[in-house]
Amino acid sequence: MNKQEVFDKLIPKDRDLQQVAELVFKSPELLKYLISGINEKEACIKYGCNNTLLLLSKKKPEIIYPYFDVFKDNLKSENKFIKWSAILIIANLTRCDNNKKFDEIFNLYFSEIEGPVMITAANIVKGSAVITKAKPYLTERITKELLKVKNAKYQTDECLNIVVGHTISSFDKFFRQIKDRDEVMDFVRINIHNRRNQTRNKAEKFINKWDKLTVSH
């Protein structure tokens, strides 16, 4: 199968990205077409390739790990969709990052957690829960980065409330790993009175679930 044949499968509105991913699983040499496709001008191809790569990173990160540096560069992309996917893809790639490439770009990865763009920060927060499972030795550093959300400046107050909700959800996924839990609990307790219902509910559930663990810690 050549590049155009791969791209042709990404053009239809009812395209099946899972099918394209399966093709790459069977024939990894096709991966280079998806990587190059990110730079195509035609939107359906660009984002079809991008979304397939995200899918691949979830299911078989080792297949696309050799292209880690491509996604590192995409963290600085002016195309926000490519950038947002790169954040999530890199998080998935940490599951097979034996070369500790993520450790080298730690500061770059978290550089926009305090704003200005809500979705960028939200994706960083979501990716953090994946990274702490893959690299538990980074838990304390990542916790400090996530706590920066309380001083963040996004487009609106509601954007802040949304990111806070995502942050609480991420903390919930790796709270047992955190050594210094008090500051995290303080962050969550403050948001029991958050104006956003979903965030407030997340805070309440978090406290009910983890408060005893903190007391016994």
Whether the CB-CB separation of 150 and 113 falls below 8 Å is answered with no
Which pLDDT belongs to residue 42?
94
Which pLDDT belongs to residue 107?
98
CB atoms within 10 A of CB 17: 17
pLDDT digits (tens, 9 = 90+) for 154-176: 999 999 999 999 999 999 999 99
pLDDT digits (tens, 9 = 90+) for 106-153: 999 999 999 999 999 999 999 999 999 999 999 999 999 999 999 999
pLDDT digits (tens, 9 = 90+) for 55-88: 999 999 999 999 999 999 999 999 999 999 999 9
Mean pLDDT of the chain: 95
Which pLDDT belongs to residue 193?
95
**Class of 1-96 in CATH:** mainly alpha
Which pLDDT belongs to residue 65?
98
Which pLDDT belongs to residue 212?
79
Residue type, 2: N
Q: What is the DSSP annotation of 95-151?
A: GG-TT-HHHHTHHHHTTTTTSS-HHHHHHHHHHHHHHHHH-GGGHHHHHHHHHGGGG
Percent of the chain with pLDDT over 90: 94
Distance, in Å, from the CA atom of 123 to the CA atom of 181, rounded to the nearest integer, reads: 23
The domains of the chain are located at 1-96, 110-217
Which pLDDT belongs to residue 213?
73
Q: How confident is the model at residue 214 (pLDDT cuts 50, 70, 90)?
A: low
Q: What is the reported pTM?
A: 0.95
Whether the CB-CB separation of 127 and 142 falls below 8 Å is answered with no
Q: What is the DSSP annotation of 146-181?
A: HHGGGG---SSHHHHHHHHHHHHHHHHHHGGG-S--
Residues in CB range of 140: below 8 A, 6 or more apart: 178, 179, 180
Whether the CB-CB separation of 129 and 117 falls below 8 Å is answered with no
Percent of the chain with pLDDT over 70: 98
E strand or H helix that includes residue 69: helix 68-74
pLDDT of 217 strictly over 60? no
Q: How confident is the model at residue 215 (pLDDT cuts 50, 70, 90)?
A: low
